[in-house]
Structure 1
Amino acid sequence: MKPHDLGTLFDEVASRRPHTTVHLDRPFDIVPGDGPGAVEHTVPELAWLVREAAGWLHAAGLRRGERVAVVKRNHYDYALLACAAIRLGAVPALISGRLPDDVLEVLLKRLEPALLVTDRRPPADAARRVLSLDPAVEGALTLDDVRGQGVPAPRRRHDDEPLVIHHTSGTTGVPKLVVHTTRTLAHRPSRVGVARWPVIGARRDDVVANAASYAHVRAFRWTAGVFRRAPREVVLLSEAGSAERVFTQHPPTTLEALPAAYARWRPLAARPDNPFRDVRLFVSAYDAVHPPVVRTMLHASRRRWPVWVQGWGQSETGPLTSRVLTRRAVNRPFDARDLGRPAPGRTRLRVVDPATLEPVPHGRAGLLLARTAARCPGYVGEQDRWLAKTSGAWWHTGDLGVLTRGGAVRLLDREVDAVPGLSCLEVEDLLEDRLPEVVECVVLGAPGGPPVPVLVLDGPLDPPAWRRAVADLPPLAAPHVLAWDEVPRTATGKVRRLDLLIRLTGAADIHGSGRWT
């Protein structure tokens, strides 16, 4: 399938394989309602909703080639609105509703959208027209104003024209707006969750669940793969806290979720009656996952051979590597920084010295570069920044790592977060393994002192346990103990490390250059 078919994806699936039932944790924001019908849909109903939404956008004045920004609460109707805009030949820009007002204002100024679809009060002059979902904004259109206006015919575009815009996570500042075309999305090596493999891939009898940030490009690509495979049921969570209620009613057999969601589900997964007991395939593709999380989830499954697929990539490049872990593999100490190998014939990787940009031999740490036909063609409003991250066909990922002689990637840290002589991610792995009560560990580096550990706990830290855990580690500062909601995060649950460092130390000094962020 080519991504330019996304405008009519649900029509196509509905005409050939309409049997999939879709379950939601709450009604769509674009069709609020009550009762079972609001949280359960068929594929033909989703196809109808995409067509209707295309009519709404057209009635609101959106035309071929124009940009429409979508900013709202997290839910899967991001994907439906994107498909509707693509059907018109317009370019959807999906922006998380969790972004603060000042960041949103910057992104909308870069986008200059013809239409803004939102459920919040937008900045002044955010777009030529505003379609308000909830609440109504003075001077904005509402859905009642645009319903019943007819459905325009699908429009196609050239493979190298912009297809969709997503933003990066924004862990170090204002997110970048990443443009993808039909060609760059079509070349993504979609090994995770889509391939027709015996274990890794959706099957007709599967209950496929997802708990994602639906404004993210990964969720967009997931849509293209999963619905084409027509599983028995699809379960979509708008928030991780819905898992116990919804998964108990509809136990998933394959599950993709944000790493932050998996971390929050550890206590739930440890229960004998956990709702993950029928999962045969776990997928994580957004961020690093620490060993205790992987181990807990695989042991929660009652399947004989459950597997965990870890993907590494970026919004700009799509997936770059993948790795499969089994229960047997995680029962002994394992290196969670090993991210597997690139897709053969699709992606090439190399490591260079961060100072000279000269290649370094296998086994030596440096800056990871990627070469793939899936690389995005630019950033909206920041093309100079995009050019600064390229060396010909090579892309500077901004990650530090090692390439083994066998071609596998071992990730060390983001360059901007690096501490000389130390892998913060490795220390985090060790501390989470040694302190089971820790929900999440973050190690922050700042010049002039030892690294600062931050422990996310639901209760107090046991000082003797802490001393035993760090006895053989490099010197660390006294730990900060925080609750989950006290940690600044992106829309995908990643920790905003610089913001956290400033909050704890009052300074923004770091070891890394941040040159490739």
Structure 2
Amino acid sequence: MFRIPSSNNGLYLGSVPESAAAKNGGTLITLDHDMVTLPGVGRTLTVAELAEHVDDMAGRLWAAGVRPSEHVAVHLSPGFDIYVLATAAARIGAVPVMLSPALEGESVAALLERLDRPHLLTDGTKLDGTLSAFPIGDLTDRVIVTTGSRPDAVTLAGLAGSPRQQPVMLHPDQPALMTHTSGTTGLPKLVVHSARSLRGRYRPQERLASLVRRRETVAIHVSYVHSRMYLALAVLLPRAMPLVIMNESAPAGVAELFAETQPGFIETHPNSFMEWEELVDHPRKPLASVRYFSSTFDAIHPSTMDRLLGASERRSPLFFQIYGQSECGPLVGRGYTRKNAHKADGRCLGFAMPGVTNFRLVSRNGARPSRETPGYIEVSTGGRALTYFGERERFDQQVHGSWWRGGDVGYRSRFGCLHLLDREVDVIPTIHSTLEVEDTLLGRLEELTELVVVAGPHQEPVPVVCTKDDRPLQAERWRSAVADLAPMAAPVQMPLTELPRTATMKIKRIELSQWLRTQEGPES
């Protein structure tokens, strides 16, 4: 059923901590939270200790009845425990299915049903909360709880001391990990990764890491259920880079953490970087030590890059913008400096990585793809996933030979840069690019903390705005800022915390648009 292939054929997540520990076991990992599953660990551990915990948990999962190639749905409260337990499942050849802590119970139940009775690895908080209204026992083969006990469930804590197991490595083209799409357009799709496709994702990320010439402390605030977390640690752990793994993104706590740990490299979601703009003027200078900023989930606004780079006191800091998708991993990218970030075109995502990724533009209407007539963006990469679990036909509709059509539209500049204008489902006919409008206005109005342009009740473009400290938006400043832009409805202001988001902090634009349609009408 399984064999141990050459490591060149695939990346085996379950062996990453052990391999890294053999090289650099003393490297420190700092957490901003306690792991509920491992309460005695505290907030600092070494790579060697991480490998020991993964091996321990793998033995417990085997004792609980988990076997190679079986699905283990991982749905836990946020914490580094998620990485430890998912990696432990992978170590014994099981297929971790990563379900975001932010998913509603209805979505979790629907995905469990699609998986056809998987093991469920969860905790009491989830069982008593979002999952309490659903027949979890009927939807799963067995429930494994990380803490406490539940009737008809296996208690992981009760399996301490279980015999350790040798790592199991499935064939490189068998399923090895499942993550889900962002869920911006309904029930998330389960993306199936293999060891070979994970190796394909590893290559561009390893190339980026090779640009970091000196040893830096790396701070990571990324969803624990996203493939990016597993690839980031696969690249960083063997390099002896001290890590800071973050649960929280609130600026006040981040300021204290960064002031203490002095990271030289930060990676997070674009929206978290926007939230951290207020750290620029913080008296403890929490961003002074940062040489590298990295954003890998969405395009980021140029004004955000400019402000963060300006807060660094390192010589020649860099901001890496990487464009990728759940189905394919990182695809194109480029770097920005203090000299060019402020004048960057926010729609320019960067360039393909020679020998690793490629992209092309395909006409939508018979016209040659250009800024005025954007085309479908199709990409080619060794990191493309195998399929959507239970939805192969849906996946195959986006496959065109060796090319993948991900649903974005854009064009290629004369310099070869890929420009993303919009998601196809977010296109508003009267607006050239909603993302371009957002870039422009966020650069003009410093009081804004977020701006999203979505379709209103009559398909009119409606700007939804959030301001610093929720202060009222000044009507005259708004009118001046939008005077040279395409007509839009009056802005709708709402608190930043009320914007619907995915696990990777993306705004759920369709959900926001649907909410607008239920209102009496936008207010200025």
TM-score of the two chains, using structure 2 as the length reference? 0.91
Q: Say if 1:87 and 1:155, in contact at 8 Å, map to a contact too.
A: yes
Question: Is residue 2:323 matched to residue 1:319?
Answer: no
Q: Is residue 375 of structure 1 aligned with residue 384 of structure 2? A: yes
Distance 2:21 2:508 in 1: 41
How far the C-alpha of 1:355 sits from its partner, in A, is: 4.8
Tell me if 1:45 matches 2:52. no
Distance 2:472 2:299 in 1: 25
Q: Percent identity?
A: 38
Partner of 1:171: 184
CA distance 1:212–1:196, shift in 2 (3 Å): closer
**Cα–Cα, structure 1 residues 4 and 188, in superposed 2: closer, same or farther, change >3 Å?**
closer
Aligned residues of 1:194 and 1:202 also touching (Cα < 8 A): no
Partner of 2:504: 492
In the alignment, the residues of structure 1 paired with residue 365 and residue 392 of structure 2 have an alpha-carbon distance, to the nearest angstrom, of 23
RMSD (Å) for aligned C-alpha atoms: 1.9
Partner of 1:411: 420
Task: Give 1:4 deviation, angstroms.
Answer: 3.7
Alignment-derived partner of residue 248 in structure 1: 259
CA drift of 1:408 comes to 1.3
**Residue 340 (structure 1) aligned with residue 354 (structure 2):** no
**Separation in 1 of the partners of 2:425 and 2:148?**
39
Residues 16/183 of structure 1: CA separation in 2 closer, same or farther (3 Å cut): same
Structure 2: which amino acid aligns with 1:405?
Answer: R
Q: Distance in 2 between matches of 1:472 and 1:376?
A: 43
CA distance in 2, matches of 1:64, 1:189: 23
Structure 1 residue 506 corresponds to structure 2 residue 518 = yes
Unaligned segments of structure 1, at least 5 residues: 508-517
Match of 1:153 among 158, 162, 166: 166
Equivalent position of 1:513 in the other structure: none
> Alignment partner of 1:52: what SS?
helix
Instruction: Quote the offset at 1:108 in angstroms.
Output: 1.1
Counterpart residue identity of residue 258, structure 2: F
Deviations 1:252-286 (A, max 9, x none): 00010111211111112232422111000000001
Give the alignment of 1:98-497 within 5 angstroms. Answer: 98-119=102-123, 120-121=126-127, 122=131, 123-124=134-135, 125-134=138-147, 136-188=149-201, 190-192=203-205, 195=208, 197=210, 200-201=211-212, 203=214, 205-231=215-241, 233-241=242-250, 242-331=253-342, 333-355=343-365, 360=369, 364-420=373-429, 421-446=431-456, 448-457=458-467, 458=469, 459-497=471-509
Query: What's the CA shift for 1:223?
Result: 1.1
Could you tell me how far apart the structure 2 residues matched to 1:80 and 1:355 are?
Answer: 48
CA-CA distance at 1:374 after TM superposition: 1.7
Give the one of 69, 73, 87 matched to 2:73. Answer: 69
Equivalent position amino acid for 2:48 in 1: P
Distance verdict in 2 for CA 1:446–1:4, change over 3 Å: same
Q: What is the DSSP-based 3-state SS (H/G/I as helix, E as strand, rest coil) of the residue aligned with 1:191?
A: helix
Is 1:78 equivalent to 2:82 in the alignment? yes
Q: CA deviation at 1:112?
A: 2.7
Checking the alignment, whether the CA contact within 8 Å between 1:23 and 1:236 is kept in structure 2 is yes
Aligned to 2:522: none
**Distance (whole Å) between structure 1 residues aligned to residue 185 and residue 497 of structure 2:** 19
* Distance in 2 between residues matched to 1:351 and 1:133, nearest whole Å: 47
The farther-off stretch of 360-369 and 259-268 is 360-369
For the 8 Å contact 1:399–1:413, the answer to whether it is kept is yes
The normalised TM-score by structure 1 is 0.92
Q: In the alignment, residue 517 of structure 2 is paired with which amino acid?
A: T
**1:339-367 alpha-carbon deviations (Å, 9 max, x no partner):** 111111222211112356x8747985111
Compute the displacement of 1:194 (Å): 5.2
Q: Distance in 1 between matches of 2:304 and 2:100?
A: 26
Aligned residues: 498
Point out the more displaced range, 452-461 or 11-20.
11-20
2:3 matched residue in structure 1: none
Are the aligned partners of 2:370 and 2:411 in contact in 1 as well (CA < 8 Å)? no
Counterpart in the other structure of 2:33? 26
Name structure 2 gaps, 5 residues minimum: 1-6, 520-524
Q: Alpha-carbon deviations, 1:282-326, whole Å to 9, x = none?
A: 000012211221111111111120000000010111111011000
C-alpha separation between the residues in 1 aligned to 2:195 and 2:350?
27
Moved more, 268-277 or 12-21: 268-277
CA distance in 1, matches of 2:369, 2:446: 38
Q: Residue 415 of structure 1: CA displacement?
A: 0.3
Match of 1:14 in 2: 21
The secondary structure found in structure 2 opposite 1:164 is: strand
Q: Which whole-Å deviations, capped at 9, do the CAs of 1:385-413 have from their partners, x for residues lacking one? A: 10111122211110010012332101100
Aligned mates of 2:482, 2:355 — CA distance in 1? 43
Kept after mapping to 2: 8 A contact 1:194/1:226: no
Q: 3-state SS of the aligned residue for 1:187?
A: helix
| Contact 1:11-1:47 within 8 A present in 2 as well | yes
Q: Using the alignment, how far apart are the partners of 1:424 and 1:360 within structure 2?
A: 18
Q: Does the aligned pair in 1 maintain the 2:347–2:436 contact within 8 Å?
A: yes
1:359-380 Cα distance to aligned partner (Å, 9 max, x none): 7479851111112222111001
